[in-house]
Amino acid sequence: MAQNKLDNVVKDLIAALGSERVETSLSALTLVMSDESGFHADRPPVCVVYPESTEDVQSVVRCAALHDVPVTIRGAGTGLTGASMGSHGEIVLSTLRMNQVLEIDFANRCARVQAGVINGDFDDLLRENGFWFAPDPASRKISSIGGNVATNAGGLMCAKYGVTREAVLSAVVVLADGSSITVGRSTVKGVTGLDLTALFVGSEGILGVISEVTVKILPVSDHPVVTLSAYFSTVNEAAVASARVTENNLQPAVMEIMDSQCLAAVHEYLNISSPHDRASHILIQFDGADAEVQALSCRAILENCGARDVDIASDSEAEALLEVRRSVHPSLARLGTTLIEDVCVPRSKLGEMFDEIARISAKYSVSIPTVCHAGDGNLHPNFIFDGEVVPEHIWEAASEIFAAALALGGTLTGEHGVGFLKSRWLRDELGPRQYQLQQDIKHVFDPHSLFNRGRVFS
């Protein structure tokens, strides 16, 4: 890309936003060259811009379109697919300064927020007023709501409350020509036209820039949350038990499985002792008016499935158990470079999927500690290796895991998205006709591939 073109787009961006919101220093550029996936760009982007409003975003997009310079959209940089890393010849549009809660409508149980609002901060604000925000990714303390929407993020609460899509009512989106549209509505019901809101949720920034969203908020329940903890000799037994829970019409808000490798790594990381050596752990929470009744039924199911030490935790113990679960990724990072993967299968197939992971681990002689959102069938196999570049045998092992998930009626990704990481396998799941249709939709919204070029569709 010609240097004079890049110099000119930077000048125009400074003229539109001011020099304090256009960064070109090497330190600023280096910060946006990677995300949490382990991917790292070879060369820095042109600049990082920090809009503070929808109008600012429109100015950035118009400048980029005028000079035909691609735009990479970045929230907090907590993504796990390489989608938000800035590389050579790209403008990085950061939403971090778009961090205002614009309106909270308690009467209608919704709120309007800018894309850069941090999920955990927003939830804390709501809880001060007797409400809460259901989407609960493990990165909630540092991830942005705009990023959660763009990836249709999941989390621990998905078993009962669904992924981010279930919480989004409407969004303001800036399109590739610099115009903006509002998709969706703030009413409880509405079926006018095609559902473009659902199209943009999970679109990973390839269709437009989400600048604002209106989301559902929920009243905090007066009923206690009941937490169960249990151990199993094998992770397969834990997976089978989790399927029995849902088969028996119980509805946990949280149901998480950690295999023995994850559990041992977290205990070492947090410096806590484990009651069982080489055991797998299941954590289950129930909320609502019948939480205690459901918990007692669940306890019986776990014991019948061979669980050991099935305990109902106190509030403080429950917080400690959740901290153990949320510490998986930092604990595994101490073991080596970690490729964090994400597949989803029907809940009844979880045991078979864990067996496949064990088979593949042995075949390639690679450690694959796995944690699982058992309530919705979403597994996170973590590949541990030495060095910064993912070795070919790791990709081969990952490819077999993806194929195994598809063969069991599952999907390549339950919550992380495609980004760069899984673009090579996307056609395998979609098939050639749907793959082409999705490319055609991308072209309708972004005919010159201005946004997140090379992501999702390789």
Q: How far is residue 148's CA from residue 304's CA, in Å, rounded to a whole number?
A: 38
Contact partners, residue 4, CB within 8 Å, separation at least 6: none
Rounded mean pLDDT, 410-439: 95
Is residue 276's pLDDT more than 80? no
Checking DSSP bridges between strand 91-94 and strand 71-74, what pairing results, if any?
parallel
Rounded mean pLDDT, 208-231: 96
Rounded mean pLDDT, 400-425: 95
Q: How far is residue 400's CA from residue 361's CA, in Å, rounded to a whole number?
A: 10
Percentage of residues in the chain with pLDDT exceeding 90? Answer: 90
For residue 422, what are its two tokens? 């899984």
Q: Which residue has the higher pLDDT, 446 or 308?
A: 446
Rounded mean pLDDT, 257-262: 96
Checking DSSP bridges between strand 168-174 and strand 180-184, what pairing results, if any?
antiparallel
- The answer to whether the CB of 101 falls within 8 A of the CB of 117 is yes
Is residue 188's pLDDT more than 90? no
Reduced to 3 states (helix: H, G, I; strand: E, B; else coil), residue 339 is: strand
Sign of CA dihedral 350, 356, 360, 361: positive
- The answer to whether the CB of 368 falls within 8 A of the CB of 357 is yes
User: How buried is residue 275: exposed, middle or buried, by Cβ count under 10 Å (0-12/13-18/19+)?
Assistant: exposed
Q: How far is residue 242's CA from residue 254's CA, in Å, rounded to a whole number?
A: 11
Is residue 210's pLDDT more than 70? yes
Is residue 178's pLDDT more than 90? yes
Q: What is the reported pLDDT for 275?
A: 74
Q: How far is residue 11's CA from residue 13's CA, in Å, rounded to a whole number?
A: 5
pLDDT band at 138 (very low <50, low <70, confident <90, very high): confident
Is residue 139's pLDDT more than 90? no
CA distances from 128 to 1, 64, 168 (A): 50, 41, 21
- The model's pTM is 0.93
Summary mean pLDDT of the chain: 95
Reduced to 3 states (helix: H, G, I; strand: E, B; else coil), residue 254 is: strand
pLDDT band at 1 (very low <50, low <70, confident <90, very high): low
Host H or E run for residue 383: strand 378-385
Among 28-32, 69-73, 135-139, 392-396, which stretch is predicted with the lowest mean pLDDT? 135-139
pLDDT band at 328 (very low <50, low <70, confident <90, very high): very high
Q: What is the pLDDT of residues 93-126, one digit of tens each?
A: 999 999 999 999 999 999 999 999 999 999 999 9
Q: Give the count of beta carbons closer than 10 Å to the beta carbon of residue 246.
A: 18
Q: How far is residue 209's CA from residue 62's CA, in Å, rounded to a whole number?
A: 12
Q: What is the pLDDT of residues 339-390, one digit of tens each?
A: 999 999 999 999 999 999 999 999 999 999 999 999 999 999 999 999 888 9
pLDDT band at 285 (very low <50, low <70, confident <90, very high): very high
